[in-house]
Each structure stands twice: as C-alpha cells, then as structure tokens.
C-alpha cells in the first residue's frame, strides 16, 4: 500500500542547497522510495522567479513521487499543514566571516517563521534548521512556537558528524562504515567538539587506533574548520555534502540509527550534560519512534567537559546577542493555530 504523502516545506528552495536537495527528495532519498511528497518552496520575494524555475525543472523529472510543487514568499502558506520544515533560507558566509557574523543578517528570518510554524504547521511538524548560525536560529524559531514540542526543533550537525567520521576513517585506513559512536557536541561553529572518547573503529576503541594527540588536536581543528576550508577552496560554502546530511538527518530520525551507533543533532537542551535549558546544542543522539533522544550516561572527562563548556559559552553569547537584537521578542501574529 502506498504510504500517505509527506508535505515538505523548504525555505531557501531556489538557493544552492535547495537546488541540490529537491531532486533527491523527488527521487525518494529523503522520505523513502514509495512515499509521495508535496513540496512547498518558500523563498524571499526577490527569488520567487528563480523558485518558479526550479519548480519547472522539478516537474520535468516526471517523478511519480512528486504530488505537487508550490512556490510562495509567505511562510504561513508554505508551512500550512507541513509535516517537515527544512529552514535553509538565509545568507551564507563568505571568506573572512565566522558563522556567528551572520546572526544580525539572518536571525530576523527565524522568529516570524517559528511563529508561522506554530500557527499553521501539521500536528506532527518536525523542523530542521540549516541556515546559519543554525543552532541559534533554531533556538529563535523554537522560542516563537510555544505550542510545538521543543524536541521537534533541530539544527543540522550531521554534516559535522560526517566530517568527523570521514577524517577518522582516512586516518585509520578503514571504511566510514567501520567508524561508530562519534559525537559532535556544542555549536555548529569552530568551537564545536568532535569527540572520539566513546568512538569505535572496527570494533576497537578509537583512541587505541588513532593517536590521542591527533584526536585532541588536528582532528578537532580539521572538522571544526572544514566549512571555512571549503569556502576558501570553492569560493562558496558547502552544498552537496550539506544536502546529503539533511537527507540522512531526516532518514535517521524516521527510521532509527543503526543498533550500537549514534548520530549528532542540535536539540533544544533539556539540561542534559549540564547544557543550559533552551539552548540548541549538538549532542550524540539516537531516534526512538521518530523522536530524537540524547544518548544518556556518557562519562565526560576534564578535556571533554572543558571543550563542551567552551562551545556552550559561545551559544550563550549568541543567545544574548539575539536577545539584544530583539529576535526573542514576540512577533506580530495574524491568526492562531485552528482548534
Ligand atoms: P544561497 O544563498 O545559495 O541560498 C539561500 C536562499 O535563501 C536564497 O535562494 C535566498 O533567496 C533564500 N532566502 C533568503 N531569505 C529568505 C527568507 N526570508 N525566506 C526564504 N528564503 C530566503 O545559500 P546556500 O548555500 O543554500 O546556504 C543557505 C544557508 O545554509 C546559509 O546560511 C549557509 O551558511 C547555511 N549552511 C549551513 C550548513 C549546516 O551544516 N548547518 C551547511 C551549509 C550551509
Ligand atoms: C559548513 O559547515 O560548511 C557551513 O556551515 C557553511 C559555513 O559557513 O561554514
């Protein structure tokens, strides 16, 4: 029997990541090879024509999974009844910028979108924020959606997780499939902590396979600075690897993380591991019945504690800057979620 259609709302759908993602959605990679999908493209008014062009191309794929495609600049139209919202629409950084420099440019987008999600999205809405600074933008969106359970708001750190797994596999001379239980903690920024303390490489403790100096130094830097390295090399920020991470994040939530492994995602903190409640922080996670769960009970030694605390301090500073800019103030509403 054909599963019911999934309604995907994608902001920034005419941008680079949107273009890399949508055709893979239409081929069933994100929601499964038999699951029909309705695509709602949300774009800035200046990019509606470009969005309409992407919609024409999507039709030209003649995907049997694509039920319909709409393009709008109104979040309340795009999010109406949506099951999944992927919030990509935001300016990317360019050479010489840190992701936090995007706060003043982008954070204003996410309050109104959070409010619209609160009022019109489907009852089971799941939100993934990609636009940077992703953690703080997700926190802002969640803060404007008081009726949506907090755990439905996530920020993408699967890309950092993949980067970490790939670096370990290269270093150890194994397949990425042999690298498990990597954890990315903190902010999607240079302060993040990719952690190998609990990781396994082909069934052995990762720190018995790769040397500790590398794991505590060059490894962390290479993962945390990967976005910058790509911008320097390509002249533009990562696109295809990001689209892959978005697909994996969604797939792992819906279908679960393989036994014995975990992934990483930015979740609204419930105080786990001493991270202040309400911050959106990357944790090692699994998924149970379609809901993310922080991996419990991991021991954190002094090195890990200090690295996590440093990244959390940056998240606190971003939250305070967002508050000072008014992005946590209530936004104008034009109607409430129907009873
Ligand atoms: P892009 O400039 O190619 O596309 C951005 C799109 O967003 C444009 O089409 C633009 O018109 C649209 N947009 C702008 N304001 C909007 C609004 N208010 N509503 C809807 N759409 C709007 O950029 P890109 O390369 O696709 O990157 C998008 C964002 O993703 C950037 O902020 C980038 O830094 C971020 N990013 C995050 C990760 C991650 O792992 N979290 C990885 C890569 C990129
Ligand atoms: C990335 O990690 O590649 C993205 O967040 C883009 C950036 O600005 O680094």
User: Which CATH number do you get for residue 143?
Assistant: 3.40.50.720
Give the number of other Cβ atoms within 10 Å of residue 297's Cβ: 5
pLDDT at 93: 87
Q: Which residues pair with 7 in a beta bridge?
A: 38
Q: Does residue 1 surpass a pLDDT of 90?
A: no
Catalytic residue among 188, 198, 249, 327: 188
Domain closes at, from 91, 125, 155: 155
Q: Among the three residues 131, 155, 179, which one is the final residue of a domain in this structure?
A: 155
pLDDT at position 100 is 80
176 and 39 within one domain: no
Q: How far apart are CA 224 and CA 231, in angstroms?
A: 13
Ligand 2 centre to CA of 297 (Å) is 30
pLDDT tens, position by position, 115-135? 999 999 999 999 999 999 999
Question: What does 56-100 look like in DSSP terms, one character per residue?
Answer: HHHHHTT-TTEEEEEEES-HHHHTTT-SEEEE--SPPP-TT--GG
Mean pLDDT of 224-240: 97
- Shared domain for 163 and 39, answered yes or no, is no
Evaluate if residue 333 carries a pLDDT over 90: no
pLDDT above 80 (res 184):
yes
Model pLDDT, residue 332: 73
* pLDDT, tens digit, 9 for 90 and up, residues 23-56: 999 999 999 999 999 999 999 999 999 999 999 9
Q: What is the pLDDT of residues 193-212, one digit of tens each?
A: 999 999 999 999 999 999 99
Q: Looking at the domain assignment, is residue 141 inside a domain? A: yes
Residue with CA at minimum distance from ligand 1 atom 17: 44
Residues 200 and 88 in one domain: no
The answer to whether residue 331 sits within a structural domain is no
Name which of 110-114, 240-244, 266-270, 324-328 the model is least confident about. 324-328
| Residue from 92, 224, 247 whose mutation best tests the ligand 1 pocket (most atoms within 8 A of CB) | 92
Ligand 2 atom 1: the closest Cα is on which residue?
A: 227
Mean pLDDT confidence for 164-189: 98
Q: How confident is the model at residue 20 (pLDDT cuts 50, 70, 90)?
A: very high
**Predicted local confidence at residue 264, as pLDDT:** 98
Residue 335 lies in a domain: no
Per-residue pLDDT, averaged over 60-65, amounts to: 98
Average confidence (pLDDT) over 171-177: 98
Q: Are residues 126 and 176 in the same domain?
A: no
> Which segments of 269-329 are extended strands (E)?
280-288, 291-294
Find the CATH number of the domain harbouring 180: 3.90.110.10
Cα 51 to middle of ligand 2, angstroms: 23
- Measured distance CA(251)–CA(245) in Å, rounded: 10
Mean local confidence (pLDDT), 182-194: 98
- 249 shares its domain with 305: yes
- pLDDT tens digits, one per residue of 152-163: 999 999 999 999
Q: Are residues 276 and 312 in the same domain?
A: yes
- Higher pLDDT: 68 or 332? It is 68
**251 noted as active-site residue:** no
Asked if the structure places residue 19 within a domain, the reply is: yes
Please give the average per-residue pLDDT across 301-315, as a whole number. Answer: 98
CA of 246 to the centre of ligand 2 (A): 13
Model confidence at 335, pLDDT cuts 50, 70, 90, reads low
Asked whether residue 327 is assigned to any structural domain, the reply reads: no
Domain total of the chain: 2
pLDDT 10s digits, 77-118: 999 999 999 999 999 988 888 888 889 889 899 999 999 999
Rounded Cα distance between 39 and 126, Å, is 15
Please report the pLDDT score of residue 314 as a whole number: 98
Are 162 and 151 members of one domain? no
Q: Give the domain range for residue 277.
A: 158-320
Task: Say how far apart CA 27 and CA 298 lie, in whole Å.
Answer: 38
Same-domain status, 114 and 206: no
Q: What is the mean pLDDT of the chain?
A: 96
Residues 165 and 109 in one domain: no
Give the residue-averaged pLDDT of 299-312. Answer: 98
Its pTM stands at 0.97
Q: What is the pLDDT of residue 240?
A: 98
Asked whether residue 130 falls in the same domain as residue 202, the answer is: no
**Same domain membership, residue 150 and residue 29:** yes
Q: Tell whether 249 is covered by a domain.
A: yes
Q: Which residues line ligand 1 (CB under 6 A)?
A: 11-12, 14-17, 42-44, 47, 88-93, 109, 130-132, 134, 156, 159, 188, 237-239, 242
- Given a contact cutoff of 8 angstroms between Cβ atoms, the answer to whether 137 and 110 are in contact is yes
Over range 159-177, report the average pLDDT.
98
Question: Per the domain annotation, does 332 fall within a domain?
Answer: no
Residues 170, 270 share a domain: yes
Ligand 1 center from residue 130 Cα (angstroms): 8
Domain boundary among 126, 155, 184: 155
Write out the two tokens for 7. 């309604």
What residues flank ligand 2, with Cβ below 6 Å?
92-93, 99, 132, 159, 227, 230, 237-238
| Residue 326 located in a structural domain | no
Whether residue 57 has pLDDT greater than 90: yes
């Amino acid at each position: 029997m054909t599963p019911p259609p999934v309604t995907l709302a994608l902001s920034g759908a005419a941008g680079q990541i949107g273009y890399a993602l949508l055709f893979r959605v239409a081929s069933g990679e994100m929601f499964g090879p038999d699951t029909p999908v309705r695509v709602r493209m949300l774009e800035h008014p200046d990019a509606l024509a470009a969005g309409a062009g992407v919609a024409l191309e999507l039709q030209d794929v003649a995907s049997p999974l694509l039920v319909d495609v709409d393009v709008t600049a109104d979040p309340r139209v795009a999010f109406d009844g949506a099951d999944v919202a992927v919030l990509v629409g935001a300016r990317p950084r360019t050479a010489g910028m840190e992701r936090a420099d995007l706060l003043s440019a982008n954070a204003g987008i996410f309050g109104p979108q959070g409010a619209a999600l609160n009022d019109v999205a489907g009852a089971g809405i799941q939100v993934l924020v990609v636009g940077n600074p992703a953690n703080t933008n997700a926190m802002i969106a969640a803060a404007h959606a008081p009726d949506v359970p907090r755990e439905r708001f996530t920020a993408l750190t699967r890309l950092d997780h993949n980067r970490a797994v790939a670096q370990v596999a290269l270093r150890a001379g194994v397949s990425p499939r042999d690298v498990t239980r990597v954890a990315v903690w903190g902010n999607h920024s240079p302060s993040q902590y990719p952690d190998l303390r609990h990781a396994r490489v082909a069934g052995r403790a990762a720190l018995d396979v790769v040397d500790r100096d590398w794991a505590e130094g060059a490894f962390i830097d290479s993962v945390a600075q990967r976005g910058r390295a790509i911008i320097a090399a390509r002249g533009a920020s990562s696109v295809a690897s990001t689209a892959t991470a978005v697909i994996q994040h969604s797939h792992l939530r819906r279908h679960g993380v393989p036994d014995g492994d975990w992934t990483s995602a930015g979740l609204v903190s419930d105080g786990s591991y001493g991270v202040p409640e309400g911050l959106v922080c990357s944790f090692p996670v699994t998924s149970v019945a379609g809901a993310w769960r922080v991996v419990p009970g991991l021991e954190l030694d002094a090195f890990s504690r200090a690295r996590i605390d440093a990244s959390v301090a940056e998240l606190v500073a971003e939250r305070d800057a967002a508050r000072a800019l008014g992005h946590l103030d209530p936004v104008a509403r034009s109607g409430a979620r129907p009873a």
